[in-house]
Structure 1
Amino acid sequence: MKFTLREVIRHQLRPLPEVSTFAVDLTGKVVIVTGANIGLGFETAKHLASMKPAKLILACRTPETGNKAAADITQATGCSTVVCWQLDLSDPESVKAFADKFEREGGGKLDILIENAAVGLFSWKRAVTGWEQTIATNHLGTAHLALRMLPFLLKAEKPRLVIVASDVHYFVTDPNEADTDGVLQRLNDQKQKGKFYAISNRYQVSKLFNVLYARALSSHLPRGTSLTVNAVNPGLCVSSLLRDLNPVVRIPLRALSRPVARSTEVGSRVFVHAAVATELDGKTGEFLQSCKVDEPSDFVISERGASASRRLWTDTLADLSEFDDQVPVGVNRYLQ
């Protein structure tokens, strides 16, 4: 699908259904939302809290803001089962500690995992692992958490994994470069030449990887499972994602986008819809936007896109296995 500026604006202005029209009873269900201390994650968690989950875990990098968010959600909804657990997706040790804690305290099964946490950097920065921060957080960390939580998801009755992508994946420069051996390592080389590898293209690339990875993981799910894995686009929202952008650029960009940008509450509806709407039962490997299944970019659905998805899967497992020896164990045990 080609996504033009006209299409972007059309989607932005499309009214989204109220959460009450597709809400469900989450009694007895365990839910995790990453990056839930502010913005889209916070609004998503607040909506889910109103559905009475047995446990709602806000997975946040900063416990102070996460605890405040949990208290605010409890006060707003009356849900007393909201807690904050520390999680830094860019740090594999943090991901492992989070998964280990869930094994001890999570209740055994996980019904909904919404992977919302992301960064939008516009300058080169490395995570503690040495990986470039955007790829470390938006792709590798997201993939790592999904694989570590897989055993608990597979124990639930109708579990859902929601990976937050974006419509910016339509606009990646030179997307065919994604179908390259060792693309992750190339992205981690600051001297790598080419528009695909430019830091100005990095956020878009990370969101393309979210779509490709969701499709790859879905294709490896065991036969007969009820677990679904989908990528979802919230659209352009008034959020804090641009906070790391130079103010000279950030302020005008926000001013220009404000007329069509969704509020974080409206944007969060697509996450909640992806997590609970009964009309999505059994649908997996899809790209969702405006509370509907939609077609991703022409590259994603092309033969090159399918090849890129397979390469990304293989490279991701190899890179994550260097940090966590339980990744290959889990893949061999739970996936096909």
Structure 2
Amino acid sequence: MAPNTAPFFPNQFIKNQFRTKPHPTPKDTDLSGQTIIVTGSNTGLGLECAKQLLSYKLSHLVMAVRSIDKGEAAAAPLRKQYPSAKIDVWPLDMTSYESIQTFVSKVDTDLPRLDVAVLNAGIGFQPFQIVKSTGHELTVQVNYLSTMLLAILLLPALKNKSPAGKPGRLTISTAMLSATAKFPNKNAVPLLPSFNDESIWDMSDIYSTSKLLGQMFLWKLTDIVSADNVVINMVEPGFIKGTDLHRERPGAAQFMLGLMKSVSARSVQLGATAYIDAAVVKGREAHGCILGNWEIEPYVPFQYTAEGKKVTEQLWTETLAEFAFVKAEQILKSV
């Protein structure tokens, strides 16, 4: 697809929020017998996605959450509403590589079947912070590094635990605010450590840039992983109200965002249908794609440029080096 060069604000934003016809999930969708993981599923879009999946007769839901207490509180009404479904709450801390590895080990040992993983967990607009255990800036750690590590580690289970002839599905939440990313350190070598420089860090940009990094990684990842084994895509649910994404923004920004949401934001119920469309409804044609407005969308224009492709290669090389401790390259070769 040719890149969309129209300005994100107001052109693409208006199209997304006011001129897009939603695609409801087909009523005959039947998830009987399936097992699906949803990360960050105790609140917001993740919780709503879990609810809607259960409404389509999902047999086994794994709610991957940072706080078990909050996860169990969210799971309790779901268990009452859907008593025939098995609903597990498992710990997953996206600031910890150790927690991610422990979670995937539990997937490997405890799940006889795995059909879909929806990687929804993420953060937005947090103050500058370095994660002590990894040495990386918090937003890049959670939205990019930890999410891509979890994606890679889940690939063997999604390939081997899905029914024969039916590829596993991996859907990762993204944001087309990536089109607005300034990415001031894009030409830094090495690249990943440069995000730890507070002098160039910008709260208003780091979320967009972190999502762009994920899209750049997807570009390379799906050149390696066959859609016959695991279908991988990213989904943009749109500008949503009813989530905690902007909770750390300053008061004035919170007020303005509140006004914008009251006029233009989608509900979490509508946003979750985009997740389900990407993870369950779309087929192999969505492999390696960004899905927005329930349709396949082009990548950010930067990724089509010579500079963008060079930065993508740098990011890919450094990320796999970062993940050498789990033998990421060997895992990718296996799938």
Q: Would the TM-score normalized by the shorter structure come out above 0.5?
A: yes
Partner of 1:283: 286
Aligned residue identity for 2:198: Q
- CA separation in 1, counterparts of 2:253 and 2:187? 32
Matched, 1:182 2:190: yes
Computed over aligned residues only, the root mean square deviation of the Cα atoms, in angstroms, reads: 2.0
Secondary structure, in 3 states, of the residue corresponding to 1:82? strand
Amino acid at match of 2:159: L
* In structure 1, distance between residues paired with 2:114 and 2:186: 32
Quote how far apart the aligned CAs of 1:82 are.
1.5
Query: Could you say what secondary structure the match of 1:27 adopts?
Result: coil
Could you say if the C-alpha distance between residues 284 and 83 of structure 1 is closer, same or farther in structure 2, counting changes exceeding 3 Å?
A: same
Q: Does 1:327 align with 2:334?
A: no
Return closer, same or farther for 1:68/1:12 CA change in 2, 3 Å cut-off: same
Contact 1:162 1:229 in 2 (8 A): yes
TM-score normalised per structure 1: 0.90
Match of 2:23 among 17, 20, 26: 17
Q: Which amino acid aligns with 2:238?
A: G
Letter in 1 for 2:157: F
Aligned letter for 2:326?
D
Provide the residue aligned with 1:163 in structure 2: 172
Provide the secondary structure at the position in 2 that maps to 1:258.
helix
- Superposition deviation, residue 220 in structure 1: 1.3
Residues 90 and 128 in structure 1, CA contact (< 8 A), matched pair in contact too:
no
Residue 83 of structure 2 corresponds to residue 74 of structure 1: no
> How far apart, in 1, do the equivalents of 2:186 and 2:232 lie?
21
Matched, 1:38 2:43: yes
- Distance in 2, matches of 1:309 and 1:26, equals 36
Taking the TM superposition and a 5 Å limit, the aligned residue runs for 1:84-99 are 84-99=89-104
Structure 1 distance, partners of 2:173, 2:67, is 20
Q: Tell me which of 179, 182, 185 is aligned to 1:173.
A: 182
Residue number in structure 2 paired with 1:272? 276
Q: Is it true that 1:104 corresponds to 2:113 in the alignment? A: no
How far off its partner does 1:24 sit?
2.3
Find the residue that maps to 2:29 and give its secondary structure: coil
Q: Percent same amino acid among aligned pairs?
A: 27
1-side partners of 2:229 and 2:106: how far apart?
25
Specify the SS of the correspondent of 2:264.
coil
Aligned to 1:253: 257
Q: Any idea what SS the aligned residue of 1:121 has?
A: coil
Letter in 1 for 2:181: V
State how many pairs are aligned: 323
User: Counterpart in 2 of 1:47?
Assistant: 52
> Given the alignment, which residue of 133, 141, 150 partners 2:138?
133
Alpha-carbon distance between aligned partners in 1 of 2:56 and 2:174, rounded to the nearest angstrom: 24
Deviation at 1:179, TM superposition (A): 5.1
Query: How far apart are the structure 1 equivalents of 2:110 and 2:29?
Result: 25
2:157 is equivalent to residue 152 of structure 1: yes
Give the CA deviation at 1:216: 1.6
Moved more, 206-215 or 131-140: 206-215
Per the TM alignment, residue 19 of structure 1 is displaced from its structure 2 partner at its CA by 2.2
What is the alpha-carbon distance in structure 2 between the residues aligned to residue 78 and residue 306 of structure 1? 49
Alpha-carbon distance in structure 2 between the residues aligned to 1:208 and 1:258: 27
The alpha carbon displacement at 1:180 in A equals 4.3
Matched, 1:214 2:218: yes
Which amino acid is the alignment partner of residue 331 of structure 2? G
Offset from partner CA, 1:177-221 (integer Å, 9 cap, x none): 435432211112324x4xxx4343110101111211222211111
Pick the aligned partner of 2:65 from 53, 60, 68.
60
Question: Conserved in 1, the CA contact under 8 Å of 2:59 and 2:85?
Answer: no
Q: Could you tell me which of 201, 205, 209 is aligned with 2:205?
A: 201
Instruction: Name which of structure 1's ranges 224-233 and 86-95 shifts more when overlaid on structure 2.
Output: 224-233
Task: Write out per-residue CA displacement over residues 15-68 of structure 1, whole angstroms, 9 at most, x where no aligned residue.
Answer: 3122245x6222222211111110001111111112223321111111111112
Structure 2's unaligned 5+ residue stretches are none
Matched residue SS, 1:143: helix
